[in-house]
């Protein structure tokens, strides 16, 4: 009975709860609808600007002296003087004496050659005196012969008249013939003089050549620096005996250094302005620095801060490296030791690994964009409605940090330089100007860095 009474008491409580729920539900208004808005993607951009573009290419190479001179011994002998300071690494000036080779034998050869020349010159004087004497004797003998000829004619008439004997006539005839023979001997001696003089003159020329050779050998016993240089190698010591052909020392030029740098073919060709290569080949001429119109700098990276030297483009190799597809361009740096201030600014010395930056002639009214802004053949621009637009462009120059365009982009348009993933045509953008990229791009364009 009690259990039945409890169940009946629960029913009114349930009915009251249902009534309260219905009343609360009817009194509550429906939730307001929220309109969904389009989300704008933040992007960085730069403004395309027409300006002069200086193309550049960066290569790497090792510094070497423009001239390397080997002091080769042209005479043999003992090293009699080798200054103590002449050791590898020392700097010497043009015309400074490097070493002496013993010259006693070569001085003696000069003296002997001079003595031989004096003896031959005396022979020439003797032959000239002999010519004068023979000419004088010839004149006298001609007079004597003329007198003998007259006497012969006179006696011949007398013999025909029978007034002199035959023996007297024969005696005069023998005297006449003897005088004639004497006259002929003098003439023969005079005729031989030119050939004798020619022989002596040839001997004189030979001795003079020997004297020149002896003097040259004597001069070669002293070796001088042909230009301002740094001693790279010294192969001799004091009192050492050297032979002909030995390399005594090697000198590196300090007036000019060269760098043969390797450049990618694609980058190098973009530096060159058109010129008449066909016409030059017909004339047998080779293209030089004045045709390619390149400027250059050599750069040494040190503690993240470059040290630079002004350079000149001087030549390039005739062939492309088939393995690396690079060309070798040689630049020269004048006075590589000037303005050196070690350790802050070292001289440009042999063996340094450096960058070589070549600049071509400027191209006017070009638009440049960073490489990351180019997506294949497209760039992303921000149109007037702040939406993304894909634009097909044509590339003119491809440089290490940027590209320039021939068409597809106009001055003043906003170019997206940040990554947009996904890049949907027409998507709403929130543009933020990237002043850092714009400044870097401007510096590259103006300075050709």
> Picking from 124-128, 170-174, 179-183, which range would have the lowest pLDDT averaged per residue?
170-174
- 355-402 pLDDT per residue, tens: 999 988 888 888 889 988 999 899 999 999 999 999 999 988 887 778
pLDDT, the chain, mean = 84
Judged against a pLDDT cut of 80, whether residue 169 lies above it is answered with no
So what's the pLDDT on residue 23?
52
Spatial separation of the C-alpha atoms in residues 396 and 407, rounded to whole Å: 9
What residues contact residue 281 under an 8 Å CB cut-off, 6+ apart?
none
Contact status, residue 403 vs residue 362, Cβ threshold 8 Å: no
Q: Mind listing the pLDDT tens digit for each residue in 287-310?
A: 667 777 889 999 998 777 889 999
pLDDT on residue 51: 84
pLDDT in tens, 219-229: 999 999 999 99
Q: Are 68 and 251 in contact (CB under 8 A)?
A: yes
Dihedral angle computed from the Cα positions of residues 160, 165, 168 and 170, in that order, rounded to the nearest 10 degrees: 60
Judge whether 45 and 415 are in contact, CB under 8 Å: yes
Which helix (H) or strand (E) segment holds residue 385: the answer is none
Distance of CA 429 to the CA centre of its chain: 54
**pLDDT score, position 331:** 94
Q: Which of 229, 230, 248 is closest to 240 using CA atoms?
A: 248
> Which pLDDT score is estimated for 102?
94
Q: What is the pLDDT of residues 26-50, one digit of tens each?
A: 544 444 554 557 788 899 999 998 8
Please tell me the pTM assigned to this model: 0.67
What is the Cα–Cα distance from 210 to 213, expressed in whole angstroms? 5
* 63 or 339, higher pLDDT: 63
Q: What domains sit in the chain, N to C, each tagged with a CATH number?
A: 43-54+365-447 (2.40.420.20), 67-102+221-253 (2.40.50.100), 105-219 (1.10.287), 256-359 (2.40.30)
Share of the chain above pLDDT 90, in %: 40
Nearest to 79 by CA among 211, 205, 246: 246
The pLDDT value given to residue 286: 66
The proportion of the chain whose per-residue pLDDT surpasses 70, expressed as a percent, equals 89
């Amino acid at each position: 009975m009690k259990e039945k009474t409890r169940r009946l008491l629960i029913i009114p409580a349930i009915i009251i709860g249902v009534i309260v729920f219905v009343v609360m539900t009817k009194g509550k208004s429906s939730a307001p609808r929220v309109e969904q808005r389009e989300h704008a993607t933040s992007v960085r951009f730069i403004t395309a600007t027409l300006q002069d573009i200086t193309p550049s290419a960066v290569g790497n190479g090792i510094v070497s002296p423009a001239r390397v001179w080997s002091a080769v011994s042209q005479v043999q002998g003992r090293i009699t003087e080798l200054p103590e300071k002449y050791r590898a690494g020392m700097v010497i000036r043009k015309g400074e004496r490097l070493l002496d080779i013993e010259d006693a034998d070569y001085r003696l050869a000069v003296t002997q050659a001079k003595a031989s020349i004096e003896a031959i010159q005396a022979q020439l004087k003797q032959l000239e005196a002999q010519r004068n004497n023979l000419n004088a004797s010839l004149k006298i003998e001609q007079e004597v012969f003329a007198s003998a000829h007259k006497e012969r004619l006179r006696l011949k008439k007398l013999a025909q008249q029978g007034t002199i004997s035959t023996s007297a006539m024969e005696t005069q005839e023998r005297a006449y013939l003897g005088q004639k023979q004497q006259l002929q001997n003098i003439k023969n001696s005079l005729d031989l003089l030119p050939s004798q003089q020619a022989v002596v003159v040839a001997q004189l020329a030979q001795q003079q050549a020997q004297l020149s050779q002896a003097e040259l050998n004597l001069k070669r016993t002293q070796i001088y620096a042909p230009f301002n240089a740094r001693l790279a190698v010294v192969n001799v010591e004091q009192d050492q005996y050297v032979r002909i052909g030995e390399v005594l020392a090697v000198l590196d030029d300090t007036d000019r250094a060269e760098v043969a740098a390797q450049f990618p073919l694609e980058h190098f060709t973009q530096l060159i302005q058109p010129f008449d290569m066909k016409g030059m080949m017909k004339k047998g001429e080779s293209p030089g620095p004045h045709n390619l119109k390149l400027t250059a700098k050599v750069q040494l990276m040190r503690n993240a801060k470059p040290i630079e030297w002004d350079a000149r483009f001087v030549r390039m190799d005739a062939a492309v490296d088939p393995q690396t597809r690079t060309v070798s361009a040689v630049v020269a740096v004048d006075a590589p030791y000037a303005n050196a201030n070690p350790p802050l600014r070292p001289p440009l010395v042999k063996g340094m690994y450096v960058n070589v930056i070549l600049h071509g002639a400027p191209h006017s009214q070009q638009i440049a964009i960073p490489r990351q802004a180019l997506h294949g053949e497209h760039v992303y621009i921000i149109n007037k409605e702040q939406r993304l637009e894909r634009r097909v462009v044509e590339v003119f120059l491809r440089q290490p940090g940027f590209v320039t365009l021939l068409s597809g982009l106009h001055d003043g348009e906003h170019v997206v330089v940040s990554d947009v993933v996904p890049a949907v045509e027409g998507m709403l953008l929130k543009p933020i100007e990237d002043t850092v990229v714009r400044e870097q791009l401007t510096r590259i364009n103006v300075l050709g860095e």
